[in-house]
Amino acid sequence: MNVTRYHSLNRILAYPHMREYLDIFFADNSLNYFPKDQYHLPLALVEQSAVSPWGGPFSQVTNQFLDAVQTVLDVTERHTRRCVPLWDPERDWTVEKEAEGGKSSVFLLAPEAERGRLKGTKDPAVIICPGGGYERVCFSGEGNPVMNYMEAQGFVTFVLKYRTTRDMERGIHPAPLEDAALALYYVREHAREYGVDPQNVMLMGFSAGGHLCASLGCFYKDAAEVLSGRLGKKITPEILRPDKLCLAYPVISFKEECHEGSALALTGGDEALRERLSLEGQVTGDYPDTFLWACEDDSSVPCSNAVRMAEALERAGVRHELCIYPHGGHGCNLAFDNSAHPWTEEMLRFMHHIFLESGWNSRTC
């Protein structure tokens, strides 16, 4: 099935199991963006009259929807991607596991490993952690589109579905951190199959996903100890340390100008845990090289979060770059339609210089 804007929503949703998969890859309420009286029309016509919830052109919604549909077809029909159940890799992941919650809901969206074997290359890899306030994982905005973009730039690309309050009660720490650590462990352990350079693996996180990636940069040693116990085998801290980080409009602080929803979901209101998980106070000299960006007009997660993290990195002597853009708000992901659009090129340039060990100096753009 080759889905385009010439298809209607009714035709697409009639595909077997499409609705169940879209609950994950497009979000369970996002279909409500489409006017129900236009489900029979080609998507190209719906775009002419419908309005997106955030006021932008409806083509933005359509693009996200088509990206999600293509991901579903990649998994279910084309078999160019698979959902790897990280906590039970011997069993295939299914949509039914999502309903079970907990560890059963965790998977890593991965390319077909056989392609890596055939290529015989060692390419850079990225594990994307979408945001969602630790209440859900937003594949539609920060998963599928970013995955496609990074693949086009030559990265072997993975997307992590980690545990959130959709799967557990509030106070979910350290479950997401364990999931992220296990994802990094999996990619490095299977680097040869995927054609990945195990010493060139980046974590890229958006919003609460940025907090998750930044947390692994702080607590990878603790994660190694926990995972060793969970898996019953010795895991060295080095294998869980990301080579580099990209933090996009990240949640960082749970003390000042914080995103309260993320703080409550992760800590359950535990004040000591809020202090520990305010990451600007946890940076040390062995923290991974980091690219950060945010927008000045972000009313959800103030850009001061990224600024505080950059200041902590500067104090610790960690190579980093911070970019603050005037417009884009929160959740603008690739930002192709606003002032934050240069972030992708700035990030790639930074990562390229870091990998070449060019003596890059930290800076703010």
**What are the chain's domains?**
9-66 (no CATH), 83-364 (3.40.50.1820)
Q: State how far Cα 114 lies from the chain centre.
A: 24
pLDDT computed for residue 251 by the predictor? 98
CA distances, 307 to each of 175, 178, 250, 360 (Å):
27, 26, 10, 19
Q: In the predicted model, what is the mean pLDDT of residues 97-116?
A: 86
At residue 359, the pLDDT reads 55
Residues in CB range of 101: below 8 A, 6 or more apart: 166, 167, 168
Q: Identify the CA nearest to 321 among candidates 247, 257, 265.
A: 247
User: What does the pLDDT read at residue 357?
Assistant: 67
Q: Which of 283, 293, 123 is nearest to 202 (CA)?
A: 123
Q: Quick one: what percent of the chain has pLDDT higher than 90?
A: 81
The closest of 205, 177, 135, 170 to 276, measured between CA atoms, is 177
Residue 356, pLDDT score: 72
CA-nearest of 302, 134, 290 to 204 is: 290
Query: 315 pLDDT band (50/70/90 cuts)?
Result: very high
H or E element, residue 183: helix 175-189
Q: Which residues are registered as beta bridge partners of 292? A: 247, 322
What is the arithmetic mean of pLDDT over 142-146? 96
What pLDDT was estimated at residue 89? 78
Model pLDDT, residue 361: 65
How far, in Å, CA of 159 to CA of 144, rounded?
A: 8
Per-residue pLDDT at 58 exceeds 90: yes
The pair of structure tokens assigned to 20 is: 């169940």
In this prediction the pTM is 0.95
Q: Which run of H or E residues covers position 193?
A: helix 191-194
Secondary structure of residue 65 in the 3-state scheme: helix
Beta strands of the chain (E only): which ranges? 81-84, 107-111, 123-129, 156-161, 196-206, 244-248, 289-295, 320-325, 363-364
pLDDT band at residue 354 using 50, 70 and 90 as cut-offs: confident
| Confidence (pLDDT) at 342 | 96
Residue 271, pLDDT > 60, answer yes
pLDDT at 118 over 60: no
pLDDT for the residue numbered 99: 83
275-314: pLDDT as tens digits: 999 999 999 999 999 999 999 999 999 999 999 999 999 9
What is the DSSP secondary structure assignment for residue 362, as one 8-state letter?
Answer: P
Identify the residue whose tokens are 């409500």: 32
